[in-house]
Structure 1
Amino acid sequence: MTAVSSSYAQPILRTADLSEGLRVVERLLGIADLRDLEVDFEARVSSTDVLAPLLELLPHAKWFAEGDTGGSSTKGDDPSAHFPVRLRAVARPPETVGPFLDAVGDSPATVRWDFMGWPEAPEVGLGVGGARGAFVTLAVHARDLDLADPASDHTVFVHAKQVEAERAPWLAAQVGLQVIGDLVEAPY
């Protein structure tokens, strides 16, 4: 599952309170053009206690083994024989977010909301932003989009096109926050 970047992301909130992270996401979505709204999920799974409910919720999710075992859903392998695995499901309906978060438990995961675009940001000289780069990601039990830095807290990222990098701080300000880290290339 090699990912191709379609945006750059910048963190705007880090919190131990998952509901606070979800409230910030809701506020950001409140200013976005939500036509074609869908959600992508990724989780780093290390136990059948997490894997089983995720596969029940997302039966067509793709997965691949981390490390040298080489197992994957494309080969028809049993994921529980290849822990840890990365599980990914794309283009899911927004109502699956709550059940996904319940299923991942303490595992590092991301939820990425994908929609039509960001609003005009005249204060920073930007018109309406198109679908490319119009995402919000909640990294759960992780501080990065690649799930390489597990944590006990959660991070909200806003995405923008690289050429519109000033949109990220503008978006943060729209919800009463500021950027708290560098603009990074998003993994997918």
Structure 2
Amino acid sequence: MSNSYAQAVLRTADLAEVLRVADQLIDLADTRQLEVDFEAVVHRADELERLAKVMPDANWWPRGPGRSGSSRDGDSAFECLPVVLSRWTMPPEAVEGFLAAVGDVPAMVRWDFSGWPEAPEIGLGYGGTRGAYLTVCLNARDLYLEDPAMDHTVYVHVKQAEAHRAPWLAAQVGLQVMGELEMAPL
């Protein structure tokens, strides 16, 4: 597992606003290569059934210390709840179905793309693939989905050495960064 660095730019209970801002940020990005990753923390069988339909062939592992079982071992996720359900490299068109299935489950959508644009006014060239992500955390206040919430957070990911790109990106969509730049799982 590698890491990127992320900074929050929006937190709201309004999912339509979250998606509007996410779309605006994605419109800034070089999306010649665009894919989406999903992750959800699933506690109940009905949640697992609903999300498994939109996350085909998802990997899963138990949530919490001292627990065993996984998709790799061929175990049943239903017998190991709660679990983290994860699916990488989905097409962007899958986002709508995932959002409809999430309900109140802590979950995230991460868009992976080719790079952030040049930002000459702050001395930055093209961003490149490393550090070029956008994450929306649904029903959670953190990137690790450990702090359940009634709202959603949009994060921009940047290279640590280009941390000042995050406030620049936020400003491009009329926002400001919130909190500090933090290490994010990938």
Q: TM-score, normalised by structure 2?
A: 0.97
Structure 2: which 5+ runs fail to align? none
Deviation at 1:148, TM superposition (A): 0.9
Aligned length: 185
Match of 2:154 in 1: 156
Tell me the amino acid that sits aligned with residue 52 of structure 1: E
Tell me the amino acid that sits aligned with residue 48 of structure 2: L
For 1:1-188, list aligned pairs within 5 A.
Answer: 3-5=1-3, 7-67=4-64, 68-188=66-186
Tell me the amino acid that sits aligned with residue 145 of structure 1: L
Structure 1 residues 48-102: Cα deviation after superposition (integer angstroms, max 9, x where no partner) = 1111121122221100001222111001111011111001000100011111111
SS of equivalent residue, structure 2 residue 37: strand
Structure 1: which 5+ runs fail to align? none
Q: Which structure's residues are more often strand, by fraction?
A: 2
SS of equivalent residue, structure 1 residue 26: helix
**Which ranges of 4 or more aligned residues in structure 1 deviate by more than 4 Å?**
none
CA separation in 2, counterparts of 1:101 and 1:72?
24
Tell me the amino acid that sits aligned with residue 78 of structure 1: S
Structure 1 residues 129-173: Cα deviation after superposition (integer angstroms, max 9, x where no partner) = 001111110000011110011100000000000000000000000
Q: TM-score, normalised by structure 1?
A: 0.96
CA RMSD, 1 decimal = 0.8
Identical amino acids, percent of aligned pairs:
59
